[in-house]
Amino acid sequence: MTIFKEAEFREIVTEREPLARHTWFRLGGPARYFIQPRNEKELASALARCRDNSVPIYVLGGGANLLIPDDGIDGAVVKLAGEFAETAIDEDGTVTAGAGVDMSKLNLRCVREGLAGMECLTGVPGSVGGGVKMNAGGAFGDIGNIIRRVKLMDATGTAFFAEKDDLVFAYRSTNINAKFILQATFDLTPDDPEEILKKVKEIWFFKKNSQPLNAKSAGCVFKNPRQLSAGALIDQAGLKGTEVGGAQVSEKHANFIIARLGAKSADVLKLIELVRQRVFERFGVQLELELEVW
């Protein structure tokens, strides 16, 4: 029996929504409830209903760094829409983007506006909210370096701001504990759009030549151990091309797992454990997941 009977929920809640269509892996089962709130009021109302009925809540961004179980999620999956997928650029060049904004599209818009600083996210998939939460980035810089402030909402539905001085960004992590990131404001620098685009193209071609960007994957699976490359360790362990069911360690970049035709989430999980075991046996290094597994 649904807990979302009222008219206020009809346009934002669906049941048994296939989650595979919302992730880059294109794997996983359905969500018991799939909620797409369009503003803070709708989000707070949905959270209250879940809380009152002891329904666990999962937050879905762009689905780029996520693996959903084959059986799906027995809870509420929230994907921010509406005003959370909008971007505002003030006259002074201040950029404020909702958590649901696609980072690649935001990057290109900043190029057109002649605002530099976002180029470090070239080739990094996902949404702004997810990018902030995991301090997305890479060799060319991280999103935390350009954050001015973020707007958050806790599990009770209370929204509040956290300023730059309140935030700590580390390698693929932040000190943000709030349930939801609603929006982020960025510190960017005016520059020649042609020069910014040139840098974006350089980064894009570098990644295109070194990563399987056209395959069904979720980006890097493992965090880089201190002063080491997870991809290099996996490669040196002879694991490139290794397959479990429909999951395969990429031949192009060993820290990527590709979901081929017929793949299951269970195949990816088994391959992850195989890679971890082989790397530990060879180098004594315990690889830590960068991929989020629900």
Active site residue 172: yes
Q: State the catalytic residue, choosing from 50, 110, 120, 220.
A: 220
Strand order in the sheet with 87-89: 87-89, 95-98, 180-186, 147-153, 159-163
Active site residue 290: yes
Going 114 to 115 to 117 to 118, the CA torsion angle's sign is negative
Q: How far is CA 81 from the centre of its chain?
A: 15
| Coil, helix or strand at residue 107 | helix
Q: Can you give the length of the chain in residues?
A: 294
Distances (CA, A) of 270 to 197, 232, 235, 245: 40, 20, 18, 9
As given in the structure block, the two tokens for residue 212 are 């399987």
Going 147 to 167 to 293 to 239, the CA torsion angle's sign is positive
Q: State the catalytic residue, choosing from 49, 149, 172, 276.
A: 172
Beta bridge partners of 39: none
Beta bridge partners of 162: 150
Catalytic residues: 172, 220, 290
